[in-house]
């Protein structure tokens, strides 16, 4: 089966995760995709394919004869799609011989513009996959799943020499929980690649240091007709707080290695208002400065409005995986080689977010992230090409070949 056939099947399966849930997976719908993937792995002849109680899918391809001592290589992708946009009832659309111009997405009012996504011009002549503009597509990361399964199928059916291969599909990556409960002993890989990046030739070994921060502003409600010198409107304090952040340091005004403060949720009333921020920086020292800056905002407002008027809570959700990969940069070089073998010129791009690979690298499983060919992820304008799916499937196959040559399992 070609990777785009698998992909088109997967995007129709609802698997949106939900932030704030107290269970894993965060949504029951993720189990449906997990069960299907187990069945497909078994159909390929991967006898030990299974799903655990939390929806994690595992499977192993034993080494070819004579390659039992080769490096144990793993591939990982996630099953959930982002809760940032609707992900149910996805209607994929195929545009053959794409002309390289803007794409109007049905009657939704959404347009994929080349001005916003310049890489589209290089996709001219390809078959583009997008939606009707009312949902995201789900290439993040169902493209990665399709590429991994197609790689596994070809390795087995074509008799490609290979060492031990481990496969895992995780839930809840989009809400930063995907790597938390992956059983590394069961997965049993020495090194792994997460197939969860953007464009087909992109490689990532750096991620943001990430902090989730919540400001809680306390006020006092009283009848507005008798509120003079009594009412304290927490919403106005929250607006003042938000205005204290540098306007140039938001996602819409930053790129590359530039960090940001992202106000992604604000809710409240006169009595109580909460603001939720995502704080990102590739540099650990600058991240600490950002935390201290937020603490200084709290001190200033509490001096102005009274002790404990504003409270800050935060937690580190991701560290820059470059810290954990310094001794394993051969993973990057091998991925470059694999891409060049299939005609792609690799581009190293820092991830302006996090990945399962970042967390797993700090848990002791060095992981590099590979692009899957997707653009405009987490949006109604998400897209991918059939050719990208095929090329990154071939990249995974070349990595299998490269690692089969690594006969020293202690490397």
Annotated active-site residue in 140, 141, 173, 398: 173
- CA distances 2 to 62, 131, 147, Å, are 23, 20, 9
Who contacts 158 (Cβ-Cβ below 8 Å, separation ≥6)? none
Task: Judge whether 102 counts as a catalytic residue.
Answer: no
Q: Which of 80, 174, 196, 202 is catalytic?
A: 80
Burial class (CB in 10 A: 0-12, 13-18, 19+), 410: exposed
CA-to-CA distance for 54 and 58, rounded, in angstroms? 12
Inter-CA distances, 120 with 5, 169, 211, 243, Å = 22, 29, 32, 36
One-character DSSP codes across 274-314: EEEEEEEESSHHHHHHHHHHHHHHHHHHHHHH-TTSEEEEE
Residues in the chain: 411
* Residue 173 appears among annotated catalytic residues: yes
CA distances for 211 relative to 44, 248, 276, angstroms: 40, 19, 11
Residues near 296 by Cβ (< 8 Å), separated by ≥ 6? none
Q: What is the torsional sign of CA 239, 244, 247, 249?
A: negative
The partner residues of 25 in beta bridges, in order of sequence, read: none
C-alpha distances (whole Å) from 327 to each of 139, 192, 234, 361 are 31, 14, 49, 11
Strand order in the sheet with 209-218: 260-268, 272-281, 209-218, 310-318
DSSP labels, 147-201: HHHHHHHHHHHTT-----EEEEEES-GGGT-TTTT--HHHH--SEEEEEEESSTT
Of 204, 205, 206, 201, which Cα lies nearest the Cα of 338? 201
Cα separation, 385 vs 120, in Å, equals: 10
Q: What angle do CA 76, 342, 346 make, to 5 degrees?
A: 70
The residues assigned a catalytic role are 80, 173
């Amino acid at each position: 089966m070609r990777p785009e056939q698998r992909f088109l099947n997967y995007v129709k399966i609802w698997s949106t995760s939900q932030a704030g849930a107290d269970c894993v997976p965060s949504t029951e719908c993720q189990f449906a995709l997990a069960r299907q993937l187990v069945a497909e792995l078994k159909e390929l002849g991967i006898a030990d394919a299974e799903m655990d109680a939390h929806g994690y899918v595992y499977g192993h391809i034993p080494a070819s004869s004579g390659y039992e001592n080769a490096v144990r290589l793993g591939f990982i992708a996630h099953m959930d799609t982002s809760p940032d946009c609707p992900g149910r009832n996805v209607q994929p659309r195929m545009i053959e011989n794409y002309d390289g111009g803007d794409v109007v997405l049905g009657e939704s009012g959404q347009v994929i513009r080349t001005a916003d996504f310049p890489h589209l011009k290089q996709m001219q002549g390809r078959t583009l996959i997008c939606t009707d503009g009312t949902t995201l597509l789900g290439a993040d990361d169902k493209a990665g799943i399709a590429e991994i399964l197609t790689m596994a199928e070809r390795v087995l059916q074509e008799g490609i020499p290979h060492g031990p291969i481990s496969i895992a599909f995780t839930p809840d990556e989009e809400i930063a929980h995907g790597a938390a409960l992956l059983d590394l002993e069961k997965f049993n890989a020495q090194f792994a690649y997460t197939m969860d990046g953007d464009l087909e030739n992109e490689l990532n070994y750096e991620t943001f240091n990430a902090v989730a921060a919540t400001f809680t502003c306390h006020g006092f409600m009283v009848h507005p007709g008798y509120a003079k010198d009594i009412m304290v409107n927490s919403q106005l304090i929250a607006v003042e707080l938000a205005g204290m952040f540098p306007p140039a340091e938001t996602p819409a005004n930053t790129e590359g290695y530039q960090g940001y403060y992202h106000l992604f949720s604000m809710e409240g009333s006169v009595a109580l208002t909460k603001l939720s921020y995502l704080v990102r920086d590739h540099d650990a020292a600058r991240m600490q400065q950002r935390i201290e800056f937020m603490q200084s905002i709290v001190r200033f407002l509490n001096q102005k409005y009274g002790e404990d008027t504003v409270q800050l809570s935060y937690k580190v959700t991701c560290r820059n995986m470059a810290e954990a990969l310094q001794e394993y940069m051969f993973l990057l070089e091998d991925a470059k080689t694999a891409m060049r073998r299939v005609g792609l010129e690799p581009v190293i791009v820092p991830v302006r977010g996090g990945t399962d690979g970042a967390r797993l690298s700090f848990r002791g499983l060095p992981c590099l992230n590979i692009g899957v060919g997707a653009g405009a992820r987490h949006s109604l304008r998400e897209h991918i090409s059939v050719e990208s799916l095929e090329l990154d499937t071939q990249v995974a196959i070349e990595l299998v070949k490269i690692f089969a040559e690594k006969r020293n399992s202690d490397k």
